[in-house]
A and B are shown apart, each in its own frame.
Chain A
Amino acid sequence: MKEKIVNIKNMSFSYGSNKVLDDVSLSIEKGDFVGIIGANGSAKSTLLKLMVGLLKADSGTVELFGKPIESFNEFKRIGYLSQTAREFNNMFPATVEEVIAANLYANEVLRGRFRRKNHKRIDEVLKTVEMDGFKKRKIGNLSGGQKQRVFIARALVNNPEILFMDEPLVGVDLESQNKFYNLLDKLNREYNITLVMVSHDIGVISQKVNRVFCLANGKVYEHDLKINRNISLDIMYGENMNMLYHQH
């Protein structure tokens, strides 16, 4: 059996009295490319934040790399791209290089050392996302698709084993979207990075990923892609779905 990178058991989560995830269990294995879909407000972002430890579950367990999320601290093994990452003020004075470097130096006790090695690494990831030449550019002046690739580069700079992305393609033009999927394909196949991507573009994502989780009414269902790659809208509302890991 493959290594379980994410393992969630009987997890529930509420915002105040609003229970948005109810007794959810799922696991993600090494090499998976997982799509998470669901209507607006179906708690996709919440689920992702619970997976990386930005939120703590009310009950149940969440494990990352076999460790309880509460004690997980191997931050270099994960990359996370939040839904709000690109919502920074365009006036924010920061170059592409500074944004990516932040991830490299975050773990060092004092100011960053090993500068030459780090410069090389930044050049490498910028090349991976086809953004070489943009190193000194102000990030606020880039297009939506370019920004998104910079954030992917930032997430990749520490060689993570798993990459979590929350709706990375919102506001990105079609041509950049295709490029983006090609990049993800490369990361998944060549670099063997496990990918978890939230999207509301069901049509496209079901063609690209090897597993799909659908969120509806606080539950998570896995759609069997072997049976049907064309996911229709009704699954958003929990019809024609098989419950994943039935708990009774």
Chain B
Amino acid sequence: MFYYDFMRRSFIMGIIIAMIAPTVGYFLVLRRQSVIGDTLSHVALSGAAFGMITNTYPVYTAIIFAIIAAFGIEGLRRKYENYAELSLSIVLSAGVGLASVLLSLGNTQGILSYLFGSLSLVNTDEIILVIGLGVVILITVFILYKKLFYMAFDEESAYLAGVPVKSLNLFFSVLVAVTVAISMRIVGVLLISSLMVLPVAASLIIANSFKSGLMYSILFGVISVVIGLIASYYLDLASGGAIVLTALILLIVTIIIHSKKK
């Protein structure tokens, strides 16, 4: 299967995404914010549609739209302090509404591959972009690891220990936005948040420390993507679906093995 250039490219991209999506998702899940992935991915879809209509590279416009949405969520969160999840619903509506209007406007036939993910049409520019941003995200999380951990565990205490909670929150939303936008290509808008959540869900069952939890999340993510991509190639399945179903099976197996051990 690696005979084909596009397969090699999607594999490299897939593995990068398999590492960043669960990494970012790990912190989101532990902060009970996993819905953010869903919200931002729908906005990213409208960004991609906008790119198609204006003949701009859709991943770029998706990144920009998602980052704007991330700031929007933070801004709204302050307005609706006691109804924080409302800010997510508002931005989600904006994303879906905008996407459907944009899609009806012009030539957006390629959009299906952004919905469910696709292996073809991954060009070299894209791969460089994904690798570049992916590495930046991983390094950033590595550097901020202890502070992000503290914020996930207990935000109030983190603030009182001197962690710049507000700016880190905003910065982290940008990381999520970028992750979503670059993952969209292979996993698809509808399934990105699954790749952010399912490997983490499996890891939480077996992890005893924060570090091991992160490692297991990444490991489950990579296994899901590798198996999913191979299956999608040989069985001619949508890549995103194959990846997410693999992640789901891994989760179920983990639950079963773990409860048998008890």
Contact assessment for A107 and B161 in the assembled complex, using a CB-CB cutoff below 8 Å: yes
Asked if A170 lies at the interface with its beta carbon under 8 angstroms from chain B, I say: no
Asked if B258 lies at the interface with its beta carbon under 8 angstroms from chain A, I say: no
Contact assessment for A92 and B153 in the assembled complex, using a CB-CB cutoff below 8 Å: yes
Interface of chain A residues 129 through 180 with chain B (CB within 8 A):
136, 138, 154, 158
* Interface residue count on the B side (C-beta < 8 Å): 27
Contact assessment for A111 and B146 in the assembled complex, using a CB-CB cutoff below 8 Å: yes
Asked if A191 lies at the interface with its beta carbon under 8 angstroms from chain B, I say: no
Which residues of the partner chain A approach B57 to less than 8 Å between Cβ atoms? Answer: none
Asked if B101 lies at the interface with its beta carbon under 8 angstroms from chain A, I say: no
Q: How far is the CB of B173 from chain A (nearest CB, A)?
A: 20
Q: Encode A93-118 as 1/0 by CB contact (under 8 A) with B.
A: 11100110111011110111000000
Contact assessment for A91 and B204 in the assembled complex, using a CB-CB cutoff below 8 Å: yes
Once bound together, how far apart are the Cα atoms of A136 and B153, in whole Å? 17
Interface residue SS majority, chain B: helix
Partner of B210 from the list A73, A78, A93, A110 (CB cut-off 8 Å) is A93
Which residues of the partner chain B approach A107 to less than 8 Å between Cβ atoms? Answer: 161-162
The verdict on A110 contacting B143 (CB below 8 Å), with A93-B213, A94-B149 known, is: yes
Once bound together, how far apart are the Cα atoms of A73 and B163, in whole Å? 11
**Sample (22) of A-B pairs whose CB atoms are under 8 Å apart:** A54-B156, A54-B160, A76-B162, A80-B156, A82-B156, A93-B209, A94-B209, A95-B208, A95-B209, A98-B149, A98-B211, A102-B146, A102-B158, A102-B161, A103-B150, A103-B161, A105-B146, A105-B147, A107-B161, A108-B146, A111-B142, A112-B146
Contact assessment for A73 and B162 in the assembled complex, using a CB-CB cutoff below 8 Å: yes
Contact assessment for A52 and B160 in the assembled complex, using a CB-CB cutoff below 8 Å: yes
Asked if A233 lies at the interface with its beta carbon under 8 angstroms from chain B, I say: no
The verdict on A92 contacting B159 (CB below 8 Å), with A98-B210, A99-B153, A112-B146 known, is: no
Which residues of the partner chain B approach A54 to less than 8 Å between Cβ atoms? Answer: 156, 159-160
Which residues of the partner chain B approach A237 to less than 8 Å between Cβ atoms? Answer: none
Once bound together, how far apart are the Cα atoms of A105 and B146, in whole Å? 7
* Interface residue count on the A side (C-beta < 8 Å): 33
Asked if B145 lies at the interface with its beta carbon under 8 angstroms from chain A, I say: yes
Which residues of the partner chain B approach A245 to less than 8 Å between Cβ atoms? Answer: none
Once bound together, how far apart are the Cα atoms of A85 and B154, in whole Å? 7
Contact assessment for B147 and A106 in the assembled complex, using a CB-CB cutoff below 8 Å: yes
Q: Which residue of A lies closest to B32 (CB)?
A: A89
Q: How far is the CB of A14 from chain B (nearest CB, A)?
A: 14
Contact assessment for B209 and A98 in the assembled complex, using a CB-CB cutoff below 8 Å: yes
Contact assessment for B212 and A93 in the assembled complex, using a CB-CB cutoff below 8 Å: yes
The verdict on A138 contacting B209 (CB below 8 Å), with A102-B150, A111-B145 known, is: yes
Q: How far is the CB of A53 from chain B (nearest CB, A)?
A: 8
Q: Encode B44-64 as 1/0 by CB contact (under 8 A) with A.
A: 000000000000000000000
Q: How far is the CB of B77 from chain A (nearest CB, A)?
A: 17
Q: Which residue of B lies closest to A86 (CB)?
A: B154
Which residues of the partner chain B approach A106 to less than 8 Å between Cβ atoms? Answer: 146-147, 150, 158, 161-163
